[in-house]
Amino acid sequence: MEILTWTYILVGLTFALYIGIAIWSRAGSTKEFYVAGGGVSPLANGMATAADWMSAASFISMAGLIAFAGYDGSVYLMGWTGGYVLLALLLAPYLRKFGKFTVPDFVGDRYYSNTARVVAVICALFISFVYVAGQMRGVGIVFSRYLEVPIEWGVVIGMIIVFFYAVLGGMKGITYTQVAQYCVLIFAYMVPAIFISMQLTGNPIPQLGFGGEVEAGVSLLDKLDGVLDDLGFAAYTDGRKSMTDMFMITLALMVGTAGLPHVIVRFFTVPRVKDARLSAGYALVFIAILYTTAPAVAAFGIYNAINSTSEKPVSELPTWVQTWQKTNLIQVDDKNGDGIVQYLPDPNQNELQIDKDIMVLASPEIAELPNWVVGLVAAGAMAAALSTAAGLLLVISTSVSRDLFKTFRPEITEKKELMIARIAAAGAVILAGYFGVNPPGFVAQVVAFAFGLAAASFFPVILLGIFSSRINKEGAISGMLVGLVFTLGYITYFKFISPELNTAKYWWFGVSPEGIGSIGMILNFIVCVVVSRFTPAPPASIQEMIEEIRIPRGAGKAIDH
């Protein structure tokens, strides 16, 4: 069968599965809508967390970044993985013990202030909208290639699917849908990786094939370095970013992960605090399967892509180039008119321009794998993008219904609160679709901005809120606003107002927009602590509550304030 046929079959089957699960697990109460009733098993929650966290950026874009950036792309691998460990160890168990539904819920109660809650809602909405834009872009890319529709229509189709099961099922529907999506995405990621590893190195384990030999006595990485050197590029294993920027991007991604509201809320869906710890451990194992494979997929992909196109006549380029050209994500321009494709050290002069976001999706075609594998990858990419998009949309709807309406209109009924949550989710889907069609960057870069905003706004006030009883509402509000405004302003200036100045020469302290969240986080910490020292201490009841959250005994049951 043709690729298109396989894609329709596999994507159609997985969509039917997701919608069926959403109908079966439809939320009937606000608790089921917000936290799946708090009764999800640690194993299921671990798989759902992994799917929620491994977005289109992880599945589609991360390996593409590493493929084109080489060593520099490793910041995403290190930052996101390290950040999840940070979240699991430092925050998740304590937030679960606190017993609230959302991050703004925690901030509002911990800092005894509706103003703090509203600021936290604003931060959550900024983060979630920026993040979901990357997911919808990923959905559009997958549909544009495999269903042969424009990216705009691909985004619309994805919006409809997400709207159906996120709005209908809430967290209960999303959780069990994400379990299915994890199974789909990890199978879809590993199958082509195993195939290509066998082709190039003879080793069926991609992680080992990454360090394997492609020729007698020549490792894959040495061969790749040589190929790039011959073309005039820097070696694949060499870094071009400054150590400062590498560190700041990695740090922003780490602490940003620990402040992501759609991941944090997953730890409220299990019955007990020890289940939160256990599900965090399961999730880390499930995440590691993909993350340890990504560098191999990146190296395999760029090696095959260069070998199959470099110095080839334009008229004899492989089928995969011609196919992806239809999406405008690959462009061929014979600049010197010699009829031969040439790669040049100046990226703007390359005669074959490949979008970073297609590397994982195109790898099975580049390696000439069976058509069903190509269709499987399409289904996996859709699972990754839709799972995270659904989680983010739930955060948006919950922030509006519970943390805004319920706070200022406590008399509204549960039925009306649920209706407001669903209306908010519908509005969020439409706005997310707009940003998916008009994104501010490629998928992983857009997501990196969301992590920077999370690092600069949420992480300090959550960490200090758990481990310091002296931080008060004035400090928290000031810190969140300073961190968010500074980081958002920096990103906006260099990405939208003056993109021509977005070079190391003009960056503050040599830190790129992707890494500026680290500076925003430091400013947040400083403002939090300083303002708290010069304003009244929190009430005694709040300080007692903080001490209770940190006490291990009785950890089997969450407290309720």
Query: 556: pLDDT confidence band, cut at 50, 70 and 90?
Result: very low
C-alpha pair distances (Å), 275 with each of 40, 41, 99, 341, 481: 9, 8, 13, 55, 33
Q: Which two tokens stand for residue 409?
A: 């209109």
Query: 210: which DSSP letter?
Result: T
Amino acid at 272: R
Pairwise CA distance, residues 522 & 509, whole Å: 14
Q: Tally Cβ neighbours within 10 Å of residue 3.
A: 20
Q: Are strands 213-215 and 218-219 parallel, antiparallel or unpaired?
A: antiparallel
Pairwise CA distance, residues 301 & 17, whole Å: 30
Taking residues 235-259, report their average pLDDT.
83
* pLDDT of res. 30: 58
Q: Are 221 and 236 in contact (CB under 8 A)?
A: yes
Pairwise CA distance, residues 366 & 481, whole Å: 47
The residue extents of the domains of the chain are 13-550
Query: 536: which DSSP letter?
Result: P
Which region holds residue 133: left if phi is over 0, alpha if psi is between -120 and 50, else beta? alpha
Highest mean pLDDT among 138-152, 157-171, 218-232 belongs to 218-232
The secondary structure of 309-355 as a DSSP string is: HTT-BGGG--HHHHHHHTTTSEEE--TTSSSB----SSGGG-SEEE-
Q: Are strands 330-332 and 352-354 parallel, antiparallel or unpaired?
A: antiparallel
Taking residues 377-403, report their average pLDDT.
78
* pLDDT of res. 532: 95
| Residue 194, pLDDT above cutoff 90 | yes
Highest mean pLDDT among 220-224, 298-302, 303-307, 525-529 belongs to 525-529
7-16 burial by CB neighbour count: b if 16+ within 10 A, else e?
bbebbeebbe
| Residue 167, pLDDT above cutoff 80 | no
* pLDDT of res. 39: 67
The end-to-end CA distance of the chain, in Å, is 59
What CATH number labels 13-550? 1.20.1730.10
Output the CA torsion 66→332→327→426 (10° steps): 50
Q: Are 472 and 478 in contact (CB under 8 A)?
A: no
Rg over alpha carbons for the chain, rounded to the nearest Å, is 23
Phi, psi of 487 (to 5 degrees): -65, -45
Alpha helices in 55-112 (DSSP H): 56, 63-69, 74-86, 92-98, 103-110
> Percent of the chain beyond pLDDT 90?
11
C-alpha pair distances (Å), 45 with each of 11, 19, 85, 169: 24, 19, 16, 16
| Residue 47, pLDDT above cutoff 60 | yes
The secondary structure of 410-476 as a DSSP string is: TTS-HHHHHHHHHHHHHHHHHHHHHHHHS-SS-HHHHHHHHHHHHHHHHHHHHHHHHH-SS--HHHH
| Residue 560, pLDDT above cutoff 50 | no
Pairwise CA distance, residues 442 & 357, whole Å: 7
Query: 523: pLDDT confidence band, cut at 50, 70 and 90?
Result: very high
- What's the chain's average pLDDT? 80
| Residue 191, pLDDT above cutoff 80 | yes
Top pLDDT among 433 and 508 is at 508
> Percent of the chain beyond pLDDT 70?
89
Highest mean pLDDT among 62-66, 169-173, 256-260, 342-346 belongs to 62-66
Q: Which two tokens stand for residue 229?
A: 């050197």
42 alpha carbon, distance to own chain's centre: 22
C-alpha pair distances (Å), 91 with each of 115, 143, 231, 384: 23, 37, 47, 24
Top pLDDT among 158 and 107 is at 107
* pLDDT of res. 476: 92
| Residue 26, pLDDT above cutoff 80 | no
Q: Are 492 and 526 in contact (CB under 8 A)?
A: no
Pairwise CA distance, residues 204 & 190, whole Å: 10
Give the residue among 307, 318, 294 at the shortest CA–CA distance from 228: 307
Query: 235: which DSSP letter?
Result: P
Q: What is the pLDDT of residues 491-511, one digit of tens each?
A: 888 887 888 888 888 898 889
Q: What is the pLDDT of residues 466-490, one digit of tens each?
A: 888 899 999 999 998 999 899 989 9
| Residue 436, pLDDT above cutoff 60 | yes
* pLDDT of res. 55: 73
Burial of 21 (0-12, 13-18, 19+ CB in 10 A): buried
Pairwise CA distance, residues 24 & 179, whole Å: 14
Q: Which two tokens stand for residue 63?
A: 């390996």
Q: Tally Cβ neighbours within 10 Å of residue 427.
A: 14
Q: Which two tokens stand for residue 398?
A: 């919950």
Bridge partner residues of 340 (DSSP):
313
Query: 267: pLDDT confidence band, cut at 50, 70 and 90?
Result: confident
Q: What is the pLDDT of residues 402-414, one digit of tens each?
A: 777 777 777 777 7
* pLDDT of res. 62: 82
pTM of the model: 0.79
Contacts of residue 88, Cβ cutoff 8 Å, sequence gap at least 6? 277, 280, 281, 283, 284
Tally the residues of the chain: 561
Q: Which two tokens stand for residue 153?
A: 């229509």
**Least confident among 117-126, 133-142, 193-202, 359-368:** 133-142
Taking residues 63-87, report their average pLDDT.
82
Q: Which two tokens stand for residue 164?
A: 């159906």
| Residue 421, pLDDT above cutoff 90 | no
Pairwise CA distance, residues 103 & 194, whole Å: 39
Burial of 385 (0-12, 13-18, 19+ CB in 10 A): buried
* pLDDT of res. 535: 94
Taking residues 104-118, report their average pLDDT.
86
| Residue 242, pLDDT above cutoff 70 | yes
| Residue 92, pLDDT above cutoff 80 | no
Q: Are 199 and 367 in contact (CB under 8 A)?
A: yes
